[in-house]
Structure 1
């Protein structure tokens, strides 16, 4: 398995990192949060101009035909700057659902608007009883002539308060924990019967709880088979986990670099605290966790295109376990080595720790994915 970047990938990496360095300091981020959208619309336009929004989509729909490695490069840079813009919900989640599940006509209509930065998406899949199980869906979709009527609620929909279009899961058949009978429905955010309650997340992003009350959806806005949405969801979830792992690695790298710089400059007892051997050991432990996470994130990105679904699931689950454990190890070390200053809102480490803690829980935390690994191994032995 070759982990070296191509020339085009290195150019992409350099351009995204330069943009983050120039436009996304912690002070810039704080300013973007106060804007009406909760993020910078000018930065969103910059992503479109650089081709970042078009990156994973096929060329025939206005994309650049990139893959999981290109997404990894972008997400790692975004993680290092704690980017607020809805790249993950729009391009990775909703974009993935369109790439893997939409008809050719739907792709031709919807993808160019994403690639050009003209619209944004959210994906509503979580419900109060769901925990981390994507198949645990109680929102109902009932036939009504040529369309569907949706009733139910979705929680913690990232960017759900500002997205112009929302893809939701709803059950068209079967019981609430069956994998079959789940459909994917594309809604306009202003659809009659759809209401949103917005709030900030722990890490500074925006989210919403969405209530659906007799929301009508035309048959043309159903993505794929109305009863076969779960396989599409699991495929996209694997790609999304790989992207989240890369984002976490970007944040880990910044946490490690900021902490190391602090050890080199902070003085105590007349010496730089970085000269104390016990603190040097903690700094090395942080570096080890960072490099282990980087390796697993790269492995996950390389495996999301694997034809064997079981191997894909193993790779992404293993990467998520490593990321979740490293988030705690690196976060704890960074805060402890900084002392009380790390927990203030004016210092960056606290912001990074909150964000990587959220990344651990998105699409399943370390304990959940460790259980999945055990189940996959048990299944393979049968």
Structure 2
């Protein structure tokens, strides 16, 4: 299992770092937030990302992809987070694209993967229905009707839910909420009759939505995977998304650490840099150790995806739990070590902290994943 980026992945990371610094700095997020931009991202930046081939990284060459692997895509997410770049990449590729790649029929892949790669269609996954992540607690129903299905229910905290063209919706075709069996994934047109989308605002100023499905009719061909057996597919999709999310969190944590260490060298008290105080040195060392351990966990998890390792679910939960703990530690320390200014909107550290808190909760917090890890290990 490779625990480092190879030369091509390193080159991609360097390219991504320069691109986001130039075209999607933190100032761009501030502008989107302050103007309450209805899209929540910059279309021109998204088009450039598409032209660079980043939407094609994980998809097969047969559908126009690059087959460069999730490790390469993780490198892009890590660099994007250093400037808090808001783009549809996560919803479209990590969530919706992964669902089609893993469970889509040949017809679905032929119809949609080239459009995802070409930036012509935006996707997302609608799974959670409660404040806390629980992929088994699905109550949204899909009743068989006239050769198709009718969907009724609500989804919340849907990433890019207001801008997506297509929704991968997790519905219950049998059983009760909490049952692992009886789940089915459907591909639903976001503009279909009966779909009502409401934009929500979270502290990180990103696109998020609540979506109500009222008698939404879909054909049988909209099913992704097998009817009533979507639980395993959903877990596979979520694990890939969780791992890519940890890559994003890692980049943000690294930025906060580097920025804080630089500040410790610049800020002077009692005629000396505060970084010379041993207590702060110890705290910085703890941050560094946690960051490097998290990097190892993320790289191991990304590698597990590309190698189709049976350890993938374990490594996904390990990475999400570890990185969630690490980014909480580093974001807290970054604010505290910057002093009073760390709490102001003027400083980018506060924006990174807000994004960190949302990322920690998405698709399972540290407690969820420690419990899942223990369960997978048979405890």
TM-score interval for Structure 1 and Structure 2 normalised by the shorter chain: over 0.9
Query: Deviation at 1:48?
Result: 0.2
Query: Deviation at 1:305?
Result: 4.4
Task: Extract unaligned runs of 5+ from structure 1.
Answer: none
1:21 match? 21
Is the CA contact (8 Å cut-off) linking 1:306 and 1:312 kept in structure 2?
no
Query: Deviation at 1:171?
Result: 0.8
Q: Which moved more, 1:214-223 or 1:97-106?
A: 214-223
Query: Deviation at 1:364?
Result: 0.8
Is the CA contact (8 Å cut-off) linking 1:122 and 1:167 kept in structure 2?
yes
Q: How does 1:156-235 map to 2 (within 5 A)?
A: 156-235=157-236
Query: Deviation at 1:217?
Result: 0.5
Instruction: State yes or no: 1:258 paired with 2:259.
Output: yes
Is the CA contact (8 Å cut-off) linking 1:179 and 1:230 kept in structure 2?
yes
Q: Aligned equivalents of 1:300 and 1:308: distance in 2? A: 9
SS of the counterpart of 2:125?
A: strand
Query: Deviation at 1:28?
Result: 2.4
1:368 match? 368
SS of the counterpart of 1:141?
A: strand
Is the CA contact (8 Å cut-off) linking 2:150 and 2:215 kept in structure 1?
yes
Query: Deviation at 1:324?
Result: 1.4
Is the CA contact (8 Å cut-off) linking 1:183 and 1:227 kept in structure 2?
yes
Is the CA contact (8 Å cut-off) linking 2:2 and 2:303 kept in structure 1?
no
2:110 match? 108
Instruction: State yes or no: 1:10 paired with 2:39.
Output: no
- Provide TM-score, normalisation by structure 2: 0.96
Task: Extract unaligned runs of 5+ from structure 2.
Answer: none
Task: String of CA shifts for 1:201-223, please: whole Å, max 9, x gaps.
Answer: 22110111000000000122221
Q: Aligned equivalents of 1:282 and 1:174: distance in 2? A: 50
Is the CA contact (8 Å cut-off) linking 1:245 and 1:323 kept in structure 2?
yes
Q: Aligned equivalents of 1:201 and 1:112: distance in 2? A: 32
Task: String of CA shifts for 1:154-206, please: whole Å, max 9, x gaps.
Answer: 01101101111111111111222222211111111111011011122221101
2:316 match? 316
- Provide TM-score, normalisation by structure 1: 0.95
Task: String of CA shifts for 1:265-315, please: whole Å, max 9, x gaps.
Answer: 112222221122211222222111111111111111112345564x22211
Q: Aligned equivalents of 2:130 and 2:318: distance in 1? A: 26
Query: Deviation at 1:5?
Result: 2.6
Q: Aligned equivalents of 1:76 and 1:308: distance in 2? A: 22
Q: Aligned equivalents of 1:187 and 1:157: distance in 2? A: 14
Q: Aligned equivalents of 1:372 and 1:183: distance in 2? A: 22
Task: String of CA shifts for 1:5-56, please: whole Å, max 9, x gaps.
Answer: 3332222112111101212222122224433311111111011010001111
Alignment partner of 1:54 out of 53, 56, 59? 56
Q: Aligned equivalents of 2:238 and 2:287: distance in 1? A: 28
